[in-house]
Structure 1
């Protein structure tokens, strides 16, 4: 029988976090889902993961390709091996609570083909911010702002335009298979049009742009079904240490064809503030939706790159001068200062949140905190809290969990 949900986990050389996540998922009592692990590791398999495979749990579907793959190729195989009606793509250091299955049942009953939710964040014990210790890096902590449990129907194209107007530097509430739930049929539509589930250099942004054009019924849930993890060897971990930037050509995760078709408007440089915008650009081109490029605010990309990547500032100015004969440095720097001022509010909010958690004053800023040495332990606590909070709750999420909900028109 076809599973209701495929939880897809592409991975490479990170068995420690992978084992923790898969163990948690296989502890769920349901038989209505599968866990698809697509492994491109070139190291000897971790003994704990071998034990998981020896359990012969038919919900765990393990695939291994030894030859080196780009991140896109590994993700492509992972989605291709998923058999469920719906797909949720996780990183191997992320998390998912078991109540997700009830939400996916609601999606199927009401022909909802895409759902995005507010995320929680978990910082693994080995995660560090640059020049900070474990406590200041929130290592071993899961946190999320109190959420309402409301559900809202959204227009996928409107959400896409919104992120383009922000320079494609955020994902916001756009449809997404990475850290979201999407009907497998929608993913197949994207592949039929572009030749790939991920038509660009990175899987998250590229699939979301594609899905925005094929998804019909898209919803946003104001509750953290999904926990975004950050461990030392992940992209988030590299970002925390200030290592998530450098020469694109040296990034083995990017397919060669993505480099060859790199957009002239985006600096050929690996950084958080270039890779998502470039992913959006390449996806629009492969979808033959170039008319949407007019919504892309490239200036926000340049301002963010200038402010966040100090080592690249000189080369960015050279890039802008070469691309635009009318480029005026004084105007650019003035606008960059305005952009920085606009971002101070978020910086202050983040500062207050982090320090309230450190000082254990988080309840005063409406933040829930779970402390655990593993994401498995944190997820079990979050599942129990979810059950307690919504068992008698009349929000849409509470009604879904009690099987009393109908779709919102």
Structure 2
């Protein structure tokens, strides 16, 4: 029988996290679930961990794959989704997990012909080795859960894409998304048929979101904890938290292959969260609908890079020249737009710092449960908190059903 939901996990040399993610997923006693792990590790530790745990390794719901060809991060993500056989796909990291109710959400999506559920992050876990620049280990071993959630909206994908490009595609918020989303596999297969693969560029999560925005009409966005993102010390999230997520393209496995192929024009040629997101966005647009490249807000991207990464002035100046050429404007006019945007960005950053200072603890007023050793510990804690609050997927689905009917009526 075809699985309903495939949870896919690409991993590389991170067995200390991935084994707990796998255990957590297989602890969900539901035959509708398939777990797909593509492991490009060179240390063979995860393979050894699974061999030492036959109850995991022999589970009929686990597809553990060691690709024979050498794959970069994006290639590994493409392999993971390609190996999945479920009707719906949920892509997560190797330090993440899902709530059991994600399967009920996928069943609801199937019954209502919903292509994409894009949940907001309302629950997240910090591993014991997670550190932040301002609070050190203050977040470590905590599961944070939003005090309020339950909102649901039905959004137009083209509007979401327009807003994302206006913001230089800095993240996946407001977009239909596969990373911690629930997406019909047939939609992902259609993206591959048009563009040659599921993901492009150096950020699979951003590429996936942009690809879905280009390939779907509408999606459901809701604030409900269907998944639990984790943040570990060695992850990109962990590196960003201590301001170590930048460098030369050639020094990062995530980007060096793309530098050799030719980095996207108009994107500064250095490694950072902002440039990687922009690169993935532009590479995906170029593969699916190249006419939309000019809708990308190059001025905003360059302004962000000037504010946050001034040490890469040469690379930023080159990107400015390339962007002016793409847009058919003079460098002087584009620079004027950038200068105005820099002022807005700086003011926004000052406001953010001021607001954070009002709540000077690591939690910042958020609810959390502490002393959780691994991601395995989080689903039971989340389920207990949901019961205490009287929240469940049936209640969320009923609210979503009303929104969908209203949206359909207004569309006609």
- TM-score (norm. length: structure 1): 0.88
Q: In structure 2, how many angstroms separate the alpha carbons of the residues matched to 1:392 and 1:70?
A: 39
Counting only pairs closer than 5 Å after superposition, residues 9-408 of structure 1 correspond to structure 2 as 9-46=9-46, 47-55=48-56, 56-65=58-67, 67-119=69-121, 120-130=123-133, 132-135=135-138, 138-254=139-255, 256=257, 259-287=260-288, 289-313=289-313, 315-317=315-317, 319-320=319-320, 326-327=331-332, 332=338, 335-352=341-358, 355=361, 357=363, 362=365, 367-371=366-370, 372-390=372-390, 395-397=395-397, 407-408=404-405
Q: Which structure has the highest helix share of the two?
A: 2
- Contact (CA 8 Å) 1:140, 1:373: kept in 2 or not? yes
User: CA 1:291–1:392 in 2, change beyond 3 Å: closer, same or farther?
Assistant: closer
Deviations 1:262-297 (A, max 9, x none): 22211111111111111111111111x233233321
In structure 2, relative to structure 1, the CA distance for the partners of 1:257 and 1:236 (3 Å cut) is closer
Cα shift readout 1:305-359 (whole Å, capped 9, x = no counterpart): 122224324642465368656448798556423321023334444555662627x
> Could you list the per-position Cα deviations for residues 106-141 of structure 1 after superposition, in whole angstroms to 9, with x for gaps in the alignment?
101100010101113222110112375312xx1112
What 5-or-longer segments of structure 1 have no aligned partner? Answer: none
For structure 1, which segment, 324-333 or 15-24, has the greater mean C-alpha deviation from structure 2 after superposition? Answer: 324-333
In 2, Cα distance between equivalents of 1:111 and 1:255: 40
Aligned pairs, how many? 396
Q: Are the counterparts in 1 of residues 268 and 318 from structure 2 also a CA contact under 8 Å? A: no
- Report if the CA contact (8 A) 1:164-1:296 is conserved: yes
CA 1:353 to 1:13, structure 2 compared with 1: closer, same or farther past 3 Å?
Answer: farther
Contact 1:144–1:368 at 8 Å: present in 2 too?
A: yes
CA drift of 1:205 comes to 1.1
Separation in structure 1 between the aligned mates of residue 220 and residue 261 of structure 2, nearest angstrom:
36
Q: Could you list the runs of 5+ residues in structure 2 that have no partner in the other structure?
A: 325-329
Q: CA RMSD in A?
A: 2.7
8 A Cα contact 1:390 1:397, kept in partner: no
- 2: distance between equivalents of 1:392 and 1:305? 42
CA contact (8 A) 1:7 1:87 kept: yes
Q: Secondary structure at the match of 1:220?
A: strand
Report the CA distance between 1:246 and its aligned residue: 1.1
How far apart are 1:384 and its partner, in Å?
2.0
Once residues 81 and 26 of structure 2 are traced to their aligned partners in structure 1, the CA distance between those partners, rounded to angstroms, is: 19
User: Aligned with 1:396: secondary structure?
Assistant: helix
1:386 CA drift (Å): 2.0
- Counterpart CA distance in 2 for 1:406 and 1:346 is 32
CA distance change for structure 1 residues 257 and 335 in 2, over 3 Å: closer, same or farther?
Answer: closer
**Structure 1 CA distance for aligned equivalents of residues 87 and 356 of structure 2:** 37
| 3-state secondary structure, aligned to 2:60 | coil
Summarize the Cα distance change of 1:144–1:314 in structure 2 as closer, same or farther, 3 Å threshold: farther
Contact 1:37 1:61 in 2 (8 A): yes
Q: Distance in 2 between matches of 1:216 and 1:333?
A: 35
Q: Are the aligned partners of 2:269 and 2:315 in contact in 1 as well (CA < 8 Å)?
A: no
Inter-partner Cα distance in structure 2 for 1:370 and 1:240: 21
- The 3 A distance-change label for structure 1 pair 176 and 332 is closer
Provide TM-score, normalisation by structure 2: 0.87
Q: 2: distance between equivalents of 1:221 and 1:34?
A: 23
Q: Is the 8 A contact 2:153 2:403 kept in 1?
A: no
Cα distance in 1, alignment partners of residues 79 and 53 from structure 2: 21
